[in-house]
Amino acid sequence: MEDLTGWLKLQQAAIEKALKKHLPRGNCRPAVLHEAMRYSVFVGGKRLRPILCLAAAESCGGTLEGALLPACAVEVLHTYSLIHDDLPCMDDDDLRRGKPTSHKIYGEGMAVLAGDALLTEAFIMLAQAPATKRYTGADYIAELAQAAGSKKLIGGQVLDLEGEGKSLSKKQLVQIHEAKTSALLTAAVKLGGMTANATAKELKCLEQFGYNLGLAYQVVDDILDLVQTTDVLGKTAGKDLVAEKSTYPAIMGLEASRKEARRLTENAMDALDGLGKKGARLNQIASYLLERKF
Amino acid sequence: MEDLTGWLKLQQAAIEKALKKHLPRGNCRPAVLHEAMRYSVFVGGKRLRPILCLAAAESCGGTLEGALLPACAVEVLHTYSLIHDDLPCMDDDDLRRGKPTSHKIYGEGMAVLAGDALLTEAFIMLAQAPATKRYTGADYIAELAQAAGSKKLIGGQVLDLEGEGKSLSKKQLVQIHEAKTSALLTAAVKLGGMTANATAKELKCLEQFGYNLGLAYQVVDDILDLVQTTDVLGKTAGKDLVAEKSTYPAIMGLEASRKEARRLTENAMDALDGLGKKGARLNQIASYLLERKF
Position B226 scores a pLDDT of 85
Q: How confident is the model at residue B98 (pLDDT cuts 50, 70, 90)?
A: confident
Q: Are B60 and B198 in contact (CB under 8 A)?
A: yes
Under 8 Å between Cβ of A265 and A236 = no
Cβ of residue B10 closer than 8 Å to a chain A Cβ = no
SS3 (DSSP) at A293: coil
Whether residue B293 is contained in a domain is answered as no
The interaxial angle of helices A31-42 and A68-85, nearest 10 deg, is: 100
Q: Among A192, A216, A215, A54, which Cα is nearest to A135's? A: A192
**CATH code (residue B137):** 1.10.600.10
Taking residues B17-46, report their average pLDDT: 94
A120 close to B (CB below 8 A): yes
Q: Is residue B81 part of a domain?
A: yes
* Cis upstream peptide for B30 (omega within 30°): yes
Partner-chain contact B150 A123, CB within 8 Å: no
Query: Which of B80, B82, B158 to mutate: most A Cβ within 10 Å?
Result: B158
Residue A254 belongs to what domain range?
A: 4-291
CB spacing of B155 vs A127 below 8 angstroms: no
pTM confidence score: 0.95
Chain B interface, mutation test: which of A116, A126, A184, most B Cβ atoms within 10 Å?
Answer: A116
Distance, in Å, from the CA atom of B22 to the CA atom of A293, rounded to the nearest integer, reads 44
> Å from A145 to nearest chain B CA?
6
Q: Quick one: average pLDDT of A32-52?
A: 96
* A261 min Cα distance to partner chain B (Å): 26
Q: Is A165 on the interface with B (CB under 8 A)?
A: no
Asked if pLDDT for residue B9 goes beyond 80, the answer is yes
How much is the average pLDDT of A68-90? 97
Determine the residue of chain A that is closest to B115 in CA distance: A116
Q: At residue B63, what are phi and psi to the nearest 5 degrees?
A: -100, 155
Set of chain B residues whose Cβ sits within 8 Å of the Cβ of A34: 150
Per-residue buried b or exposed e for A221-233, using 16+ beta carbons within 10 Å of the residue's own CB: bbbbbbebeeeeb
Helix (H) or strand (E) run with residue B193 in it = helix B183-195
> Does residue A24 sit at the B interface (CB-CB below 8 Å)?
yes
Reported ipTM = 0.95
Say which residues have a Cβ less than 8 Å from residue A170's Cβ, sequence separation at least 6.
Answer: A248, A251, A252
Determine the pLDDT at residue B223. 93
pLDDT 10s digits, B185-202: 999 999 999 999 999 999
Q: Which residues contact A171 (CB under 8 A, 6 or more apart)?
A: none
> Among partner residues B24, B142, B145, which is closest to A151 by beta-carbon distance?
B24
Question: Could you tell me if A176 lies within 8 Å of chain B, comparing CB atoms?
Answer: no
Q: Which residues contact A183 (CB under 8 A, 6 or more apart)?
A: A147, A148, A152, A153, A156, A214
**What local confidence, expressed as pLDDT, does residue A3 receive?**
87
Helix, strand, coil percent content, chain A, rounded in steps of 5: 75, 0, 25
Q: How far apart are CA B262 and CA A209, in angstroms?
A: 60
User: Would the CB atoms of A116 and B119 count as touching at under 8 Å?
Assistant: yes
d(CA B226, CA B238): 5
Q: Which residues pair with A294 in a beta bridge?
A: none
Rounded to an integer, what distance in angstroms lies between the CA atom of residue A251 and that of residue A256?
10
Q: Report whether B177 contacts B215 (CB < 8 A).
A: yes
Residue type, B127: A
* H or E element at residue B125: helix B108-128
Cβ contact A121–B161 (<8 Å) = no
More confident residue, B53 or A228: B53
Vertex B101, ends B99 and B105: CA angle to 5°? 100
Cite the DSSP H helix spans in A129-238: 137-148, 153-163, 170-177, 183-195, 200-227, 230-233
Give me the phi and psi of A50, to 5 degrees please: -65, -35
Does residue B294 fall inside a structural domain?
Answer: no
Task: Tell me which residue in A30, A121, A138 faces B127 most closely, judged by beta carbons.
Answer: A138
Could you give the CA distance from residue B152 to residue B182 in angstroms, rounded to a whole number?
Answer: 9
Stated length of chain A: 294
Count of A–B CB contacts within 8 Å?
A: 157
Q: How far is residue B125's CA from residue B22's CA, in Å, rounded to a whole number?
A: 7
Give the orientation angle of helix B137-148 with respect to helix B68-85, to 10 degrees. Answer: 20
CA B152, B190, B119, A200 dihedral sign is negative
Question: Tell me, what DSSP letter sits at residue A130?
Answer: P
pLDDT of residue B55 exceeding 90, the answer is: yes
Is A254 an 8 Å CB contact of chain B? no
Q: B31 at the A interface (CB within 8 A)?
A: no
Count of other CB atoms within 10 angstroms of residue A283 = 19
Cα distance between residue B273 and residue A215, in whole Å: 58
CA distance A210 to A190: 8
- Phi, psi for residue A27 in degrees, rounded to 5: -95, 10
In three-state secondary structure terms, A161 is helix
Instruction: Please indicate if any CB of chain B lies within 8 Å of the CB of A155.
Output: yes
Nearest to B137, CA basis, from B126, B145, B122: B126
The alpha carbon of residue B189 and the mean position of all alpha carbons in its chain are separated, in whole angstroms, by 10
Residue A162 reports pLDDT greater than 80: yes
pLDDT-based confidence at A230, cuts 50/70/90?
Answer: low
Which positions in chain B touch A179 (Cβ < 8 Å)?
none
- Provide the angle, in degrees to the nearest 10, between the axes of the packed helices B183-195 and B48-59: 40
Quick check: B269 contacting A, CB < 8 Å?
Answer: no
Q: pLDDT tens digit string along A99-122?
A: 999 999 999 999 999 999 999 999
Q: Which residues of A touch B37 (CB under 8 A)?
A: 150
Question: How much is the pLDDT for A225?
Answer: 87
CA separation for the pair A281, A62 (Å, rounded): 13
* A175 neighbors A157 (Cβ within 8 angstroms): no
Nearest to A124 among B124, B126, B146 (CB): B146
For residue B217, what is the enclosing H or E element?
helix B200-227
Residue pLDDT, tens place only, A258-270: 999 999 999 999 9
pLDDT of B106 strictly over 90: yes
Task: Please answer yes or no on whether A116 and B116 come within 8 Å at the CB atom.
Answer: yes
CA–CA separation, B35 and B33 (whole Å): 5
User: Are the C-beta atoms of A153 and A147 separated by less than 8 Å?
Assistant: yes
Rounded Cα–Cα distance for residues B62 and B55 (Å): 9
Give residue A294's pLDDT: 75
Rounded-to-integer distance, Cα B237 and Cα B98, Å = 11
Give the N- to C-terminal CA distance of chain B in Å, as an integer: 25
d(CA A51, CA A126): 16
Cβ <8 Å between A155 and B33: yes
Could you tell me how many residues make up chain B? 294
CA distances from B97 to A202, B94, B294 (A): 49, 10, 11
The reply to whether residue B138 touches residue A127, judged by beta carbons under 8 angstroms, is yes
Element (H, E) at B95: strand B95-96
- Say what the pLDDT of residue A227 is: 86
State how many domains chain B has: 1
Report chain A's terminal Cα–Cα distance, integer Å: 25
- Which amino acid, residue A178? E
Q: Residue window 66-105, chain B: list those with CB within 8 Å of chain A.
A: 80, 84, 87, 89-90
